[in-house]
Every structure is written in C-alpha cells, then in structure tokens.
C-alpha cells in the first residue's frame, strides 16, 4: 500500500504495526526535514498519528501546548495533532489550520480516528466491511489488498459522465467511499461513525461595512493566509496563470519575501488558449524568477500516466497542463502556492452572473414563464443560439425551473434526452429514474445563504471544488512529489468571503467585483479587467487534427463495445459529429475516452505499482501515444 503511494512521499517511509492495526506513511519532507519522520507519538506513546498535508499554524499551536505542559520531540507540524488529541479528543481537528488527511490510533482505547481538512484539499478514501476498515490517500492503495473487490459503481459512472468528475459523496469503485471534507471518522470494535465538524456559513455578517474597509480586510486576510503558507524548510514558488487569483497570491508573496518569487506558467501555441503574456505582465511587475513551458498536441502521451494517477475517471482536461506545470515546477521547488478558490469565494464563473440575473425576475409567476418558454419552443429559436429570441427562450426556460434544477442544467454535460440516447436499455434500467444533477439539490436546499448566488457558491464548494478542482491539483502535483498550498482556501479567508453580501461579489456583468477592487493597488487594470480564460487545452482542435483517430480506435474497439454501457450507434454519431465539424463534442469524447481507459487499467487489468509500468495497456499503438 505504501509502495504504490511513493510518488506522494518519496523522502521517507514509516509504519506502525500492532494488534489489529497497521498505519503506513510515505513522507514528503517539507517541515522539520531532519527529525519529522512519521509515525509520530505523544509523550508515553499511547497515541500515534500519520499525516498527509501541512498544519500551517503549528507554531502557534505548539507554543500553546507547551505552555500546558506537553513535551515535544520534534519540530514538525504533525506532532501538534497527538497533543491536541490528548486535550480535545475528536475535537483536535478544530484548531487546525491547514490541508490534511490524518489517521490517529489511540492505543489505550483501541480506537482509530481519521480526519480530513475543511474543504477537501487532501483526499481520503476508505472501505468499511464486516468490522474491518481500509483507508488511504488514493484508492489504488486500498486496491492493493486482494480481499478488496474491483467493481465499477454504475451510479458513480453516470454521475461522472454528467459532471466529468466523480462527486465527492461517491466512488467509481463499488464498496469504496470518500471521507467528506470537514468530517472525522472513528472506528472502534468494528463500528464506524462519521461526524461533521465544520461548514461555511453564508450569512451576510459583513453587510453594511463600508467598501474601503472591506478592501483593506481582504488584503489583510490574504497577506495573513499567504504568510502562514510561506512556512517551509524547502524551496517554494508559485503557479502564475495570468489571472486575478494567481496574480493576487504572487503579489502577497512578493510583499513578504526578501528574495524574488519563483513563478511558473504553461501555455499553448494557439493564442485563444495562451495566457503566458498575461503571466509575464505580473512576473515583470514583481520581478519574479519566471519559468515558462509551451504544451504541444503530443502532450497526450501522458494519458496512460494520468489515468493511473487519478484512480477514478476524470474528464477535466486541464489536468494535462496541470500535470506538465507540476512537473516543470518540481525541478526548481518542493512547494508551490496557487490561486485555487478565488472563483468559489468571490463568484468568478459566468453561471453566478446568470443566477444573479434570473433571481431579479423571480417575482414573475412560474406559470407565465412556463407558457412563454413553451411558446418559444413551438416557434423555434432558429439555427443560431445568439439571437434575441434564443436568449429570451433560455431565460424563460431557466425561470420556469426550480433554482436547484436550473443550476444542475447549467453544470451537467448530459441531460435526460442525451442519457437516453447514449445508454443501453440495460444501463438505464440499472440507473433508475433519478434526474441528472439531482446530487446538487441537497446542498442547495441545506445552505443557510439568503441569495441564490451564495447558495450556488455553497453548492460549488461542496461539489465542484472538492470533486474536480482540488482532485485535479492534488493528483497532478503529488504525482511529481510537489506540495501545493492555496491561500484563498484558508478557512478564515473563505469565511470572510462567505460573509460578504452577494451584491459585493456580482454586480451586473462584473464578477468578483469586490475582490478586484481590493486588488487595484496590487495588480494592473489589464489583469483585473480581462475576461476569464480558464486553464484548459485546445481539445476541440486536437481531436479534429493530430488526435482525430484516437476516439474511434478506443471507443469503437470491440472490447469497449462489449461492456454493454453505451449504444454503438450513439458513440459513432458523437465521433462523426465532431470529426465532420457538425458539432463540438470534444468534451463528451474526452469523458468517454477517460472512462474506457480507466476501465481497462483498474477493472480489467492488474494495477502496477508505478505509473510508467505497462504504458501500452490502453490498446492504442504504443509508438504513437507512448
């Protein structure tokens, strides 16, 4: 189990084995590189812990615990956990400010405690079965045990094709689960219990505070969150995309470091996907030591490695540049800061602006908007999607739908009709009648937010952020033994942002309004006012050019078709539509490719202990792809 996770921690291996329990750790040494090897114990060795991640406020916690009489043997951040457990038992997670997944064994009580950080920066899979418990940072560690079956979960695979990631409350492997962010899980005498210890509140507690004061508060909190993440005994740098969020983090770093920040960017030769010119603007402004890499279509050669590292099917194709960015960065530093979380804190996506707009018309009776939408469906919107009639039709359709289902229609890739066309009757019968996107309804209805924009932010923090963005970055970086820290995901910073009124985040066509205003002293208008590009790849062009034959070779292979999940005619139509230029189906093709290659690697075959083993496993010509 440890060997298959060696990429996450190549610097040291540790284990604790006793009656009924075995804990293992592969350590990436960042804090206390000399004496901080794990497992780590309390004073009388009655409590033992292994930790993946970092506790950023460990110095403050250490001083407080020493003042209470605790004795420390190391200078590591990990050791604070065992002493906090002595003081607070399961509530030991509450003072922790960091990203973490840990396992703690109480020898006297013969009890295990698992803990995961508040937003899910660090992953934690587990399997509970007949009184036994397996757990690991990646699913492949648990799958090393031959007693653990490897069967796909069709419900999770359907969710994957809807969202292009497996949701955080599901697993692609039947029988495996993920500990939810902000939760602990305890095991004693075969009984397992999970408890939530934290969630964001979206009450407008900062409503009425003058905006200049809010600007100062945002900058202060960002500087503090960044300062804590600069604690390291190894070299560190920053990802710099050219957007507002990464630019803000680099600016906060430059204000607190005496030497130039090392910054890293990736780009493409296709201008509409390339942000390197904007990254250089920020790099030049702050005099960073800047590094840059341009990605070519042959980058697809890492596809087998991506499938192995991600464990579950994962269709966010920005994993490709993220993987190369991490590889380049690791040559220079061991820790990198990034701008993850800015969009989820300050409403940076277009869908938040759409929600703000539709909520202004919520007073119109549903039956009126429903009639209007029906009328436009009858007369049609024409061949173009950007006509006035088409826009009005989309607005009326949105207003005629419950807010949580409306949001689901914006963020899912397969609607009811698409699923019916794609899946075989047997697959549809297995899935049942649950509507696409239904997973989002629970968090939406449970949110304490009073505005629709804040409700959507709450939903995204609990679903898209943890299921897609954080998975993408954790796996891409840890594949290269690189630790990434995200100041904008600091719990204090996130709570401040959540307490801002929705109107301070979205106003008219401007998203992240208050955040951008606060950053005016730090970043130029050319960065603050440019449109959002997104960290993506020219997949549409690649699948009509150098990778044109890839979908047909993989998806129409007899081995793929015999799985019985998809109608062959539907797969063929999706391929032909994209190749001919009739429709852009690149996202669907990529999701199907990732799913099929995952099935071949994790369900059909033996799981190798390293990503470079058996690179020709996918059935694609090895000399063309690998």
Query: Phi and psi (nearest 5°) for 499?
Result: -80, -5
- Most confidently predicted of 236-240, 270-274, 527-531: 236-240
pLDDT tens string 69-97: 999 999 999 999 999 999 999 999 999 99
180 or 384, higher pLDDT: 180
Per-chain mean pLDDT for the chain: 90
pLDDT band at 334 (very low <50, low <70, confident <90, very high): very high
Buried (b) or exposed (e) across 286-308, using 16+ Cβ within 10 A?
A: bebebbeeebebebbebbbbbbb
| Of 265, 296, 269, the residue nearest 283 (C-alpha) | 265
pLDDT band at 185 (very low <50, low <70, confident <90, very high): very high
Is 341 within 8 Å of 245 (Cβ atoms)?
yes
What beta strand segments (E) does 12-116 contain? Answer: 12-18, 21-27, 40-41, 47-55, 98-106, 111-116
pLDDT of residue 385: 47
pTM listed for this prediction = 0.92
| Of 205, 227, 263, 178, the residue nearest 499 (C-alpha) | 205
Is 137 within 8 Å of 130 (Cβ atoms)?
no
pLDDT of residue 292: 94
Q: What average pLDDT does this structure show over 264-285?
A: 85
C-alpha–C-alpha distance, residues 189 and 451, integer Å: 45
Dihedral-angle region of residue 432 (phi above 0 means left; psi in -120 to 50 means alpha; beta otherwise): left
SS (H, E, C) 580-602: HCCCCCHHHHHHHHHHHHHHHHH
Q: What percentage of residues in the chain have a pLDDT greater than 90?
A: 74
Beta pairing class for 335-337 and 483-485: parallel
**Bridge partners of 510?**
507
pLDDT band at 239 (very low <50, low <70, confident <90, very high): very high
pLDDT of residue 425: 95
Sheet containing 47-55: which strands, arranged edge to edge? 40-41, 47-55, 98-106, 111-116, 183-188, 191-196
Lowest-confidence region among 332-346, 527-541, 605-619: 605-619
**Bridge partners of 238?**
263, 337
pLDDT of residue 364: 63
Q: What average pLDDT does this structure show over 215-221?
A: 98
Domains of the chain from N-terminus onward: 3-196 (3.60.20.10), 211-347+474-528 (3.40.50.620), 350-455 (no CATH), 543-625 (no CATH)
pLDDT of residue 623: 34
Beta pairing class for 335-337 and 236-239: parallel
pLDDT of residue 614: 45
**Is the pLDDT reported for residue 616 higher than 90?**
no
Q: What percentage of residues in the chain have a pLDDT greater than 70?
A: 88
609 or 306, higher pLDDT: 306
C-alpha–C-alpha distance, residues 411 and 408, integer Å: 5
Q: How far is CA 76 from CA 25, 31, 110, 490, in A?
A: 15, 6, 25, 20
pLDDT of residue 439: 84
Q: What average pLDDT does this structure show over 203-220?
A: 95
**Is the pLDDT reported for residue 547 higher than 50?**
yes
Q: What average pLDDT does this structure show over 205-216?
A: 95
**Is the pLDDT reported for residue 542 higher than 60?**
yes
Q: How far is CA 320 from CA 66, 236, 453, 493, 588, in A?
A: 45, 22, 30, 29, 17
pLDDT band at 608 (very low <50, low <70, confident <90, very high): low
pLDDT of residue 626: 26
**Is the pLDDT reported for residue 99 higher than 60?**
yes
Question: What tokens does 608 get?
Answer: 């190798």
* 569 contacts: CB under 8 Å, gap ≥ 6: none
pLDDT tens string 4-29: 999 999 999 999 999 999 999 999 99
């Amino acid at each position: 189990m440890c060997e298959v996770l060696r990429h996450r921690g190549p610097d040291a291996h540790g284990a604790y084995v006793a009656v009924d329990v075995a804990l293992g750790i592969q350590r990436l040494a960042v804090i206390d590189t000399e004496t901080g090897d794990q497992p780590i114990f309390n004073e009388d060795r009655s409590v033992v812990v292994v930790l993946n991640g970092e506790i950023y406020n460990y110095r403050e916690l250490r001083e407080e615990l020493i003042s209470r009489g605790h004795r420390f043997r190391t200078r590591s951040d990990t050791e604070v956990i065992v002493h906090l457990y002595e003081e607070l038992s399961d509530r030991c997670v509450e003072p922790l400010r960091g990203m973490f997944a840990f396992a703690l064994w109480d020898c006297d009580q013969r009890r295990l405690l698992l803990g995961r950080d508040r937003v899910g920066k660090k992953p934690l899979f587990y399997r509970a079965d007949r009184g036994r418990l397996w757990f690991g940072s990646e699913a492949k560690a648990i799958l090393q045990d031959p007693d653990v079956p490897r069967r796909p979960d069709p419900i999770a695979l359907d969710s994957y094709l809807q969202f292009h990631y497996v949701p955080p409350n599901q697993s692609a492997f039947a029988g495996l689960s993920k500990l939810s962010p902000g939760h602990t899980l305890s095991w004693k005498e075969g009984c397992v219990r999970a408890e939530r210890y934290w969630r964001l509140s979206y009450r407008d507690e900062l409503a009425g505070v003058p905006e200049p004061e809010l600007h100062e508060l945002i900058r202060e909190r960002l500087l503090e969150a960044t300062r804590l993440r600069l604690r390291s005994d190894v070299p560190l740098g920053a990802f710099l995309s050219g957007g507002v969020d990464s630019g803000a983090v680099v600016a906060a770093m430059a204000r607190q470091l005496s030497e130039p920040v090392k910054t890293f960017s990736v780009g493409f030769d296709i201008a509409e996907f390339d942000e390197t010119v904007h990254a250089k603007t920020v790099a030049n402004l702050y005099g960073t030591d800047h590094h840059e890499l341009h990605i070519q279509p042959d980058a697809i050669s890492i596809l087998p490695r991506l499938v192995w590292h991600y464990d579950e099917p994962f269709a966010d194709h920005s994993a490709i540049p993220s993987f190369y960015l991490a590889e380049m960065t690791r040559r220079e530093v061991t820790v990198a800061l990034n701008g993850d979380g800015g969009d989820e804190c300050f409403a940076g996506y277009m869908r938040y602006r759409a929600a703000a707009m539709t909520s202004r018309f919520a007073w119109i009776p549903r039956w009126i908007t429903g009639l209007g939408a029906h009328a436009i469906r009858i007369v049609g919107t024409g061949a173009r999607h950007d006509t006035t009639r088409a826009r009005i039709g989309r607005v009326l359709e949105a207003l005629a739908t419950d807010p949580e289902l409306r949001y689901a229609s914006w963020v899912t890739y397969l609607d009811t009709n698409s699923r019916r066309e794609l899946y075989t009757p047997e697959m549809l019968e297995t899935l049942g009648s649950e509507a696409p996107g239904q997973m989002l309804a629970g968090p939406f209805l449970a949110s304490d937010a009073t505005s629709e924009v804040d409700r959507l932010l709450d939903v995204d923090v609990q679903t898209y952020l943890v299921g897609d963005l954080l998975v993408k970055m954790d796996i891409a970086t840890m594949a290269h033994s690189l630790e990434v820290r995200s100041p904008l995901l600091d719990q204090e910073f996130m709570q401040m942002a959540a307490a801002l009124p929705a109107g301070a985040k979205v106003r008219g066509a401007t998203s992240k309004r208050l955040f951008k205003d606060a950053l005016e002293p730090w970043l130029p208008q050319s960065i603050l006012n440019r449109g959002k590009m997104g960290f993506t790849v020219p997949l549409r062009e690649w699948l009509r050019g150098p990778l044109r034959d890839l979908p047909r070779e993989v998806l129409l292979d007899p081995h793929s078709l015999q799985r019985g999940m998809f109608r062959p005619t539907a797969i063929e139509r999706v391929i032909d539509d994209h190749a001919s230029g009739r429709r852009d189906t690149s996202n669907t093709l990529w999701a199907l490719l990732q799913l099929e290659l995952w099935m071949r690697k994790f369900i059909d075959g033996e799981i190798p202990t390293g990503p470079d083993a058996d690179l020709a496993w996918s059935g694609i010509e090895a000399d063309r792809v690998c």
